[in-house]
Amino acid sequence: MSIAPLDLFLNIGRAHASLNLKLQEELGAFHGLDYEDVTLLHRLLSAEDGCVSAADLARSLGLSISAWLRKACRKSTLRSLRFATTTRPSPEPFNG
């Protein structure tokens, strides 16, 4: 690979990172959410039955399932997912 394509690739990566940071700042300042939270909430709310597989959620963020689960356990995404799942009726409790 010559230097010109590599420079172009790296410049695109930096531009993407810069735009991502600006978006994170705006969302965080006004909503207390980050881009991933908004993406996951949108994906859950647009699901027909309110259920989305972990694979689909991970794919919507461009992550593997294990990377998404690690991230979900570490940050507010888990709280966001809990909130989103409360918008549909819960199953009846087991009365064994």
The pTM assigned to this predicted structure is 0.52
Question: Which pLDDT score, from 0 to 100, does residue 76 have?
Answer: 53
Are 24 and 35 within 8 A, CB to CB?
A: yes
Question: Which pLDDT score, from 0 to 100, does residue 82 have?
Answer: 57
Q: Concatenated DSSP letters for 49-77? A: SS---HHHHHHHHT--HHHHHHHHHHSTH
Long-range contacts of 72-76 (CB under 8 A, 24+ apart): 76/33, 76/34, 76/37
Per residue of the chain (96 residues), what is the pLDDT tens digit?
567 999 999 999 999 999 988 888 887 777 777 788 888 888 888 888 878 888 888 898 888 988 888 877 776 555 555 555 554 555 555 554
Question: Which pLDDT score, from 0 to 100, does residue 75 have?
Answer: 65
- Collapsing DSSP states into helix, strand and coil, what is residue 79? helix
